[in-house]
């Protein structure tokens, strides 16, 4: 085999190798898009849903701050116009019956407790 034949042989083998490598790369990219990417998207969506639920839970528990037109929940700061009024009004409207019922129940318990304290105070005299 002379030098030119060796060069041609090496070029053919290099072409075969790059063609095979291209096919393998295409398969791997296809696997990533088909097999793994949907899970990554689902994981991202789950993380967003988890963080949103956590933020909403903190808002409902009153664990948020209003800084001007910004609502601050945990380490997230969001700009909203008339933040406090919008948040409070939205929460109250969404859960008005539950809030009122819970408030009524709390007041009933407090009245009952105060009555019991009065009775005990009268008995001790």
Pure H helices in 32-95: 37-60, 83-94
| pLDDT, tens digit (0-9, with 9 covering 90-100), for 21-46 | 888 888 887 777 777 777 766 777 77
Q: What distance in Å separates the CA atoms of residue 115 and residue 119, rounded to the nearest whole number?
A: 6
Q: What are the pLDDT digits (tens) for 52-70?
A: 888 877 877 778 787 877 8
User: Where do the structural domains in the chain lie, given as residue ranges?
Assistant: 1-61, 64-94, 98-125
Whether the pTM exceeds 0.85: the reply is no
3-state secondary structure of 66: strand
78-104 pLDDT per residue, tens: 777 766 677 777 777 777 787 788 888
Give the Cβ contact number of residue 73 at 10 Å: 18
Structure tokens, 88: 């409070």
């Amino acid at each position: 085999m002379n030098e030119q034949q060796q060069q041609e042989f090496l070029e053919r083998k290099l072409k075969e190798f790059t063609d095979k490598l291209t096919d393998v790369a295409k398969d791997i990219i296809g696997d990533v898009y088909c097999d793994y990417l949907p899970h990554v998207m689902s994981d991202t969506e789950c993380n967003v849903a988890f963080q949103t639920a956590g933020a909403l839970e903190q808002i409902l528990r009153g664990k948020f701050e209003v800084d001007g037109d910004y609502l601050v929940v945990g380490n997230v700061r969001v700009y909203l116009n008339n933040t406090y009024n919008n948040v409070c009004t939205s929460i109250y409207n969404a859960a008005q019956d539950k809030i009122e019922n819970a408030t009524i129940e709390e007041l009933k318990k407090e009245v009952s407790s105060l009555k019991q304290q009065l009775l005990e105070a009268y008995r001790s005299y």
